[in-house]
Amino acid sequence: MRYVREFKGFAGIRLESDDIGSAFDPAVVVLHGPGQTRADWEGVSVALRDAGRHAINIDLRGHGGSEWPDDARYDFNAYVEDVRAVLAQMRTRPVVVAASLTGWVAAAALAEDAATLAAGLVLVDLPNSDSRELVQGLAGNIGAGQFDPRLFDRFDTSGAAAKANETAAQLAIPVLAINGALGSAGATAAFIASLPDAEAVAIEDSGLDRTETFNALLLDFLERKQPRFVPEFREGSDARTFRDALGCFATGVTIITAMDADGNPVGLTANSFTSVSLDPPLLLVCVANNAGSAAVLRDTERFAVNVLQIGQQPTSNRFAGKGEDRFANTPWEVGEFGTPVLTGSLSSFECARDAVHDGGDHFILVGRVLKAMFEPRRDPLLYFRGKYRRLHFA
């Protein structure tokens, strides 16, 4: 399949793309460099489609078929927000392929929450700096009708390289840097080395077609880092795959609390929580046998389940970690039935122990609800595929 697809970029600007291939195949977003259009990446996009990938080949603002903004915003941050807006509209997490200076844009766009926006990043001839000398080639194309005439004077990526370098350690997705694909110098080794999961390769001038060599390197990276087959778990195989499969079920986040024998509050973060019965009112939580609070929670007569709202992500992290006084910096009070209740939670359930069942490396704690409180004006803190999420209303 092939059709022209539109995205809404920063401030609602219209961004145009070629959508090539089946939407059921793994997605790859292609971002050309300054002074190019998506037409320059047509061959790569077709190769992706032929290899069973879904290519979304996008024109940047002011380029090709995309809109020319009335305010002539062609600064670095505008391009960064365009990329983030496009990725937020994708149905799945794509691998992003970005050329030249646009690589700095993509790196900055993905730095804060890369794993929620993309499955990988390919940097093509990422330059060593963001000097304006690198966009001089743009001037010769202005009159071709494919670019906003204001683009050359307004194109500003100053500080892009520095910002990307500062946030490199946060770019926790697979990254491939390909140098020499366009016959130009490549990214600094220091930047690539600072990325958590990166590899670099150079295309030598060996007389072979650079595009074919580039396509081979790109497809090899995709097959290794985002294979087309559906991951499968069978009993006795890799437990991580089983965990990833379970992570496809989006859940809320809770903190289970109780008092120990000395009257001190204990608690831990858990997302294995569900209602069991309305009459009688029962719920259950699953607690890891090796958790620090496991012994107290297994034997306690009373406990509370605190369902977290979006402002309590730091609290969730605090109760999931070790070596910290979890209650010292957490607002809480003793509930009506003697359990620690975290104030400001989305809801809280004070429970009496009804039953405890063994469940492999966890135990199942069933509680009879004695009291429930909830705050209808707050939104839930969600967890999906190993990351915190927030509820987005259509």
Residue 286 CB neighbour total at 10 angstroms: 18
Task: Tell me which of 225, 253, 276 is where a domain ends.
Answer: 225
204, 181 Cβ separation under 8 angstroms: no
Residue with tokens 């390919």: 122
Residue 186's pLDDT is 46
In terms of phi and psi (left: phi > 0; alpha: psi -120 to 50; beta: otherwise), the region of 158 is beta
Asked if residue 330 belongs to a domain, the reply is yes
Which range of 109-113, 182-186, 203-207, 376-380 scores highest in mean pLDDT? It is: 376-380
More confident residue, 130 or 312: 312
pLDDT in tens, 7-34: 999 999 999 999 999 988 999 999 999 8
Rounded Cα distance between 180 and 202, Å, is 6
Residue 390's pLDDT is 79
Asked if residue 238 belongs to a domain, the reply is no
Asked if residue 233 belongs to a domain, the reply is no
* C-alpha separations of 248 from 95, 226, 231, 244, 364 in Å: 19, 17, 12, 7, 21
Asked if residue 234 belongs to a domain, the reply is no
Residue with tokens 């941050």: 77
Worst-scoring range by mean pLDDT, 78-87, 278-287, 324-333? 324-333
Q: Is the pTM of this model over 0.85?
A: no
Residue 338's pLDDT is 96
Do 96 and 163 lie in one domain? The reply is yes
Please tell me whether the peptide bond between 280 and the residue prior to it is cis, using omega within 30 degrees of 0: yes
Do 265 and 326 lie in one domain? The reply is yes
Residue 184's pLDDT is 46
pLDDT in tens, 30-58: 999 988 899 999 999 999 999 999 999 99
Do 82 and 118 lie in one domain? The reply is yes
Q: Is the pLDDT of residue 112 over 70?
A: yes
Worst-scoring range by mean pLDDT, 61-65, 79-83, 90-94, 341-345? 90-94
Asked if residue 235 belongs to a domain, the reply is no
Rounded Cα distance between 16 and 310, Å, is 34
Task: Tell me which of 225, 257, 286 is where a domain ends.
Answer: 225
Asked if residue 236 belongs to a domain, the reply is no
Residue 44 CB neighbour total at 10 angstroms: 22
Do 281 and 207 lie in one domain? The reply is no
296, 289 Cβ separation under 8 angstroms: no
Do 108 and 185 lie in one domain? The reply is yes
Asked if residue 104 belongs to a domain, the reply is yes
Residue 132's pLDDT is 53
Do 262 and 214 lie in one domain? The reply is no
pLDDT in tens, 173-230: 999 999 886 544 444 677 888 888 999 998 876 555 778 889 999 999 999 988 887 6
Do 188 and 253 lie in one domain? The reply is no
Asked if residue 31 belongs to a domain, the reply is yes
pLDDT in tens, 223-276: 998 888 767 778 877 777 788 788 888 899 999 999 999 999 999 999 999 999
Type of residue found at 204: E
Residue 369's pLDDT is 97
Domains contained in the chain, number: 2
CATH code at position 367: 2.30.110.10
Do 300 and 221 lie in one domain? The reply is no
Domain that includes residue 275, residue range:
245-390
Q: Is the pLDDT of residue 305 over 50?
A: yes
CATH code at position 97: 3.40.50.1820
Task: Tell me which of 225, 253, 274 is where a domain ends.
Answer: 225
